[in-house]
Chains A and B, each alone.
Chain A
């Protein structure tokens, strides 16, 4: 497949360039590349937006409207904003850019095993928008189904570049209107079959050589809010051997319902309620992903993950969130924090060994 300048799939291997993908898009691409698979999707790059405004010939018109605009004149800003957005939503999109989106969307749906709901999000490039540092959260449209709905909302994201708030922000900060652009993220809505959290340490004692996983059926909210007792598994972080596990009583699950576009709670059948909801292979996969997140962010992580019901085995584990683990990792003690009696710093004997500790272990001292 040739790589299209208008579209960048999260996993097509291209560099996560902020200027073409925007903050949100670049972040999703770089996480995917680092082995932290976010829900699959693609970015409609700034090239697509640029081609659109260029071909539509509206660049001049937009500049004319914005020229001499007074940030304090809110009514006038609102009028200009509405006019520009009307323009952006009514002009035809160049065929090549449109075809690229259509093809990427079809490919994504195929990978998801059929037509499933997606989210469409704007992804601004740096400085152009007030909340750019929050990776373009300006517009997010959830539960979109079908090609038309997706293309329509991509356009809405483009238009969000000219909301009144955005225009005023640029005016006040002397940000020029030339060269403005916008990327848009199209991403699968997570359909969690099993979900939970993972912490890259043992939160009970701060032991960093362990990793804990909580897992339950459906989406993770019930685990987080404590409405079910999840399966709790303690693993060795280095060898991924299960050190201890407790299978919880998972009587209920929350599952996404595309029709009502919300989560619905349902009872878990008895035969599933008290068996572990992760296979050994899935458990290992969650643990490996958590380790990669820790390595990527260089500190202990607390991640949220899900196994997606629509995606094939091996591609269905998704990382929903990764944040630093804050309870223990600020303390000094790392692995040794858990030790009841930290070893006193006894000088080593010439042979490089500490005879006193050998002796103490064979006398029962410190038992």
Chain B
């Protein structure tokens, strides 16, 4: 073994020009503190750019904080996972870094009976508890929808006088803001109630497969438990149904300008059969258009129900493809048949106790696992869609009082600063001060400074990780979700030093080999650029990009494991995918020809300045080594947000 290589320490990362003093964007507890330096530098932190690919505006840390905190609480306080506590997290130079917390060896045994009692309860009552979960989550969303952030009246209404309300309404703004935050927190706690369990069941099956079928590919295991028809795909399926109906009704000609929503819907309404289509369109929206093209963690994420041009555009594209005779439905029957074949062929190799154990574990994993995919619609899309809409409503109202220059500038405040603003407004308005609240003379300058800081931070990409990695990364949740394996970390460390030029390696996330032209998408707003049969290259994908998956030939991402959204969706669409390459989106440029091998986990750049060298002969590009032996035990935590 040569000297251990390390990632940079936090203090060694250069601060981008103009970003000096960036720490004040975030609360103290989110940044590395000088007095904790030695302790923090001794830990290995990896960047979660899968969920947080871009720099946080101050208010936006709420999603990262709630998600990673609530994830950890289920390991550390609810389920008492014997060997894994939660994940510590810090924001550094605008990006989120995470460090899993192991349980001290001597405390593991004492947690076992607690763990068994708690997990046992959930697995034995899965269906009823999950039903209850849906009601709790719906209740939170419904209440959130009732919260209003309206401008204050000029005077208290006569009705409030006569009824003896005796309050001026500013308390409603204060209460509703606090309630909005609390409700978001509540659904993030619920989010993880079943998620870690889904992973536990999955990992149990995973480990058993690795035991009876040494070297079984991770992909095979994923395929055996993955749901084929899921709520997460429902929004996309609704669009396909709407496109199909439009073709049936002969309405195609009205979809020429889907960016003009009003004109398009007007023309459809005036057409024969158009009302039937509009009824179906309205029906689909609740709840399935609570769906974002982002991932629910950013204030700038666009949701279908607020940007109807997005679903209309997708429908128009589906209509075009239907008219060209293409099939737009996912090959569901084939996927089910293939899944059944794979399960059956593995089963045929077992008998007796082994077969019984395999069946029991697969059945538990197949029951629990769909939650891991479906919850995403309820929380990231639906809850957060309502949440961000309410935040924007509040921001607009405060903008109306002159607190800031742009409607959405509230995002440049930390969430606790918003409470100050609300009390400033309550006072300024309440006392009838001629210049109103003080904020309009205070915040614009600060917001301008913060805007510049965020923009400066965005000029740099995050480090893949910080400090010295452990000798081996065996923790399966980390491997499965973030694609962070010993080999992956080594390849990040050795980038540019070894390996074949022009060949990127990542997780073999969805099988198949194709060649095609790359389309690099750094922002979901650019999704419309994707042309038929291109290969999508992105830092990370969101499940709501569904409609583009019917159009592309393969997907390559920087971040993500076997169970990342890109991997799941690509398997669902039977497209090759290589995830967790680390740097595909920065080393590939749009227009380059690529060969994507989703069976081996390699991406070869076939032309341009950074192309792979030409090697003659069949199989010339392949020099792979065995994957690391599987982890049989975890010293980590289920982690998915």
Contacts and interface: CB of A to CB of B under 8 A. Distances in A.
Contact of A361 (B123, B204, B616): B204
A339 B213 CA distance: 8
A275 interface: yes
Interface string B104-122: 0000110010011001100
B363 A352 contact: yes
B350 A339 contact: no
Contact of A241 (B207, B511, B620): B511
A20 B626 CA distance: 51
B366 to A, nearest CB: 11
A272 interface: yes
A243 B217 contact: yes
Interface string A328-340: 0000001110111
A334 B351 contact: yes
Contacts of A247: 619, 622-623
A276 B619 contact: yes
A254 B306 CA distance: 70
A178 B345 CA distance: 51
A276 B632 CA distance: 32
Contact of A238 (B109, B220, B617): B220
Nearest to B126: A351
A353 B633 contact: no
Contact of A243 (B84, B345, B357, B627): B627
Contacts of B83: 362-364
Nearest to B219: A241
A239 B220 contact: yes
A172 interface: no
B214 A363 contact: no
Contact of B214 (A231, A339, A352): A339
Nearest to A307: B618
A336 to B, nearest CB: 5
Contact of B633 (A202, A207, A363): A363
Interface residues of B, number: 67
B527 interface: no
Contacts of A340: 211
A362 B217 contact: no
Contacts of B342: 238-239
B349 A209 contact: yes
Given A236-B220, A343-B211, A334 B350 contact: yes
A351 B220 contact: no
A276 to B, nearest CB: 3
A349 B125 CA distance: 13
B200 A271 contact: no
B350 to A, nearest CB: 6
Contact of A236 (B217, B618, B632): B217
Contacts of B350: 334-336
Given A236-B220, A335-B213, A363 B625 contact: no
A188 interface: no
Given A234-B215, A241-B219, A242-B624, A355 B200 contact: no
Contact of B109 (A349, A354, A363): A363
B81 interface: yes
B346 interface: yes
Nearest to A231: B619
B198 to A, nearest CB: 13
A161 interface: no
Contact of A336 (B119, B212, B361, B615): B212
> Do most interface residues of chain A lie in helix, strand or loop, or is the interface mixed?
loop
Given A362-B81, A363-B83, A244 B627 contact: yes
Contacts of A335: 212-213, 349-350, 354
B634 interface: yes
Interface string B185-213: 00000000000000011011001100111
A276 B123 contact: no
Nearest to B354: A336
Contacts of B174: none
Contact of A359 (B115, B508, B615): B115
Contacts of A354: 204, 357, 360-361
Contacts of A241: 217, 219-220, 508, 511, 599
A343 B361 CA distance: 12
Interface string A311-347: 0000000000000000000000011101111110100
Contacts of B511: 239, 241
A343 B357 contact: yes
A247 B625 CA distance: 10
B38 interface: no
A359 B116 contact: yes
Contacts of B146: none
Given A277-B618, A335-B354, A362-B200, 14 more contacts: A236-B217, A243-B215, A243-B627, A271-B616, A279-B618, A283-B619, A336-B350, A338-B212, A338-B214, A339-B212, A355-B123, A357-B361, A359-B116, A365-B633
19 contacts: A209-B212, A236-B215, A238-B346, A241-B219, A242-B599, A242-B622, A247-B619, A272-B617, A275-B617, A335-B354, A343-B354, A349-B123, A351-B120, A354-B360, A357-B357, A358-B204, A361-B207, A361-B634, A362-B115
Interface of A: 202, 205, 207-210, 231, 234, 236-239, 241-245, 247, 271-272, 275-280, 282-283, 334-336, 338-343, 345, 348-355, 357-367
Give 10 nearest A-B pairs by CB, closest first: A276-B619, A244-B626, A279-B618, A209-B213, A335-B349, A351-B124, A363-B82, A353-B364, A238-B345, A367-B633
